[in-house]
Amino acid sequence: MIEILHLKKSFGDVEVLKDIDLTISEGEVVSVIGSSGSGKSTMLRCINLLEEPTGGDIKFHGKSIMDGEFNENEYRSKVGMVFQQFNLFNNLSILDNCVVGQVKVLKRDRQEAEKIAKEYLEKVGMAAYINAKPSQISGGQKQRVAIARALSMNPEVLLFDEPTSALDPEMVGEVLNVMESLAEEGMTMVVVTHEMEFARDVSTRVCFMDKGVIAEEGKPEEIFENPKHDRTKEFLSRFR
Ligand code: ADP
Ligand code: MG
């Protein structure tokens, strides 16, 4: 579905992504782990065109997303993103947070958009809160709403950037459970995370990023039981 080929990204003189190759197939759950500053967020932001790559290419179903002819708006609606800080619209109700993108970007009529939003809010266990404002719910609930909002756009792939890092520990589980059920249903996901249990137990593949490159990738059991590189070993030892 997504092919990342020799991806490079610099900010000024600083090369943050050096030569990233990664292929994401339908139904895969790819966890991206690595130290702070290694370029994980920048890679996700290049995938959904929040950042413009400075080199290499990214293909979606075989077509370069950097080609002038490529329909960026349509692409963005197919690639959902869930952020560490939720990024909900604080002035809108929970329901409207999940409706507004469908109406504005997908041109769905409001009634249909509400029906779809309610289905996904139900799925993440937030149906009882449709009239609440984000300020009235907990962090874990906000993140579940953010996931429902992303799903309401019927994306082909969901990108998560440390979705549980801003949460109090007691709320991490409720968000991971939602993500795990999405994975079981076959949703294609790329998840930047420090939750090593999730990476080990839910992912189909794990990528370890170090200083702007994917230093090692493989099946979870390979990475966790038998890491090849010293940097991977050292990083994982911090979680033991
Ligand atoms: P991670 O998500 O792995 O912590 P990031 O992708 O956020 O890493 O950042 C990688 C490096 O790129 C960091 O050194 C960071 O300071 C730098 N960086 C990220 N975004 C920008 C930006 N917009 N301008 C300049 N430097 C940036
Ligand atoms: Mg980051």
- What are 121-172's pLDDT values in tens digits? 999 999 999 999 999 999 999 999 999 999 999 999 999 999 999 999 999 9
What is the per-residue pLDDT for 45?
A: 97
Which atom of ligand 1 is nearest the CA belonging to 209?
Answer: 3
Mean pLDDT, residues 15-41 taken together:
97
Report pLDDT for 68. 87
Looking at residue 102, its pLDDT comes to 96
Tell which wins on pLDDT, 239 or 5. 5
Place of tokens 């290419």: 57
What is the rounded average pLDDT of the residues 45-73?
94
Measured from CB, residues less than 6 Å from any atom of ligand 1 are 11, 16, 34, 36-42
Ligand 1 atom at minimal distance to the Cα of residue 11: 25
Region 54-75: mean pLDDT is: 93
Contacts 24+ apart (CB under 8 A), 7-11: 7/43, 7/46, 7/53, 7/55, 7/56, 7/57, 7/58, 8/53, 8/54, 8/55, 8/56, 9/39, 9/42, 9/43, 9/46, 9/51, 9/53, 9/54, 9/55, 10/54
Closest ligand to C-alpha of residue 36 is 1
**Interface pTM, i.e. ipTM:** 0.98
Ligand 1 pocket test, candidate residues 42, 44, 83, most atoms within 8 A of CB:
42
Q: What DSSP string describes 65-79? A: TTSTTS-HHHHHHHE
Task: Look at residue 10 and tell me whether its pLDDT is greater than 80.
Answer: yes
